[in-house]
Structures are given as structure tokens and as C-alpha cells.
């Protein structure tokens, strides 16, 4: 994503979550005030950040207008992988959310309005998908 697109996406959200490492070693996401670091106009909703304590992965929703791709990031800086993609790696053409990740980080289940993640998705409604991060395949369940 280009720097200008990232900046536009950052100014389009109204809820900001940051990763915080507690003294006891737990990772937590903390919600920031809706106006934290944002101009007074162009605020839009983003979905809740999730952190799975038993793994080293964080699921984030990084929105750009109405298209909300789902990404997974390890706690290592700069290690981000988009998972709301089809089996060839092309991103979905609709918003994704309501996600869950397996304890080993291999499988990510998510809801998506995208119609191009699997062939034959012509029902015109949101579906549940599973992306296998090891084989880079996405299937509708």
C-alpha cells in the first residue's frame, strides 16, 4: 500500500487500537480516544482489534473506505500478511471481519462480503471463509 493510501486510511478511521505489552508479559490491545491523532473530519468506523494471547499473532482490520481487508501480523515489527485473499493471493473485493485464528496461527476464519475469494460465489451475501496460511489457500465453509 502506498504511503498516500496509508495516510488516507489512517484519517478514515474513528477507533484506534494500539498494542501494549504489560509488565507481566501479556499483550493487550488498548482502544485510543476516537480523536487521537485524527483531523476533525473524515472519521469512519473501523472494527475491533483482536489479540490472541496464546499465539504470537494479531489480527487487525486496516480499512480504506468501504473495502476492509483482513491482515495478520506477528508481534515482530514489519511482519504483516494479508489473509482476506483468494488462493492466488489476490485481495477480496469486499469488506472482511469477524475473524478467528487457530492456536498455531495456521488457519484464519473470517466473514467477508467479497465475491471473488472463491470461484462460484454468486449468492450476493456475506460468507465464512478459511484461509490456510501454510498452503496459501482460501475456501468457503
Q: What is the pLDDT of residues 10-40, one digit of tens each?
A: 443 334 444 455 555 555 554 444 444 444 4
Q: Residue length, the chain?
A: 141
Q: What is the pLDDT of residues 61-105, one digit of tens each?
A: 443 333 445 555 555 555 667 888 999 999 889 888 888 888 777
Q: Are 29 and 20 in contact (CB under 8 A)?
A: yes
- Residue 141 banded pLDDT, cuts 50, 70, 90: very high
- Residue 135: all three cell numbers together: 498452503
Q: Which sequence spans correspond to the domains of the chain?
A: 3-140
Query: pTM here?
Result: 0.54
Q: How far apart are CA 12 and CA 7, in angstroms?
A: 9
SS3 state of residue 67: strand
Residue given cell 465464512 in the structure block: 128
CA 59 to each of CA 4, 16, 35, 138: distance values in angstroms, whole numbers, following the listed order: 23, 14, 23, 17
Amino acid at each position: 500500500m502506498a504511503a498516500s493510501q496509508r495516510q488516507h486510511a489512517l484519517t478514515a478511521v474513528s477507533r484506534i487500537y494500539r498494542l501494549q505489552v504489560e509488565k507481566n508479559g501479556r499483550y493487550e490491545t488498548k482502544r485510543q480516544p476516537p480523536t487521537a491523532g485524527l483531523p476533525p473530519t473524515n472519521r469512519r468506523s473501523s472494527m475491533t482489534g483482536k489479540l490472541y494471547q496464546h499465539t504470537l499473532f494479531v489480527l487487525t482490520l486496516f480499512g480504506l473506505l468501504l473495502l476492509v481487508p483482513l491482515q495478520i501480523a506477528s508481534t515482530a515489527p514489519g511482519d504483516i500478511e494479508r489473509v482476506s485473499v483468494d488462493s492466488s493471493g489476490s485481495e477480496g473485493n469486499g469488506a472482511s471481519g469477524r475473524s478467528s485464528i487457530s492456536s498455531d496461527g495456521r488457519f484464519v476464519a473470517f466473514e467477508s462480503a467479497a465475491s471473488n475469494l472463491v470461484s462460484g460465489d454468486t449468492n450476493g451475501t456475506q460468507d465464512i471463509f478459511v484461509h490456510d496460511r501454510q498452503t496459501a489457500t482460501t475456501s468457503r465453509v
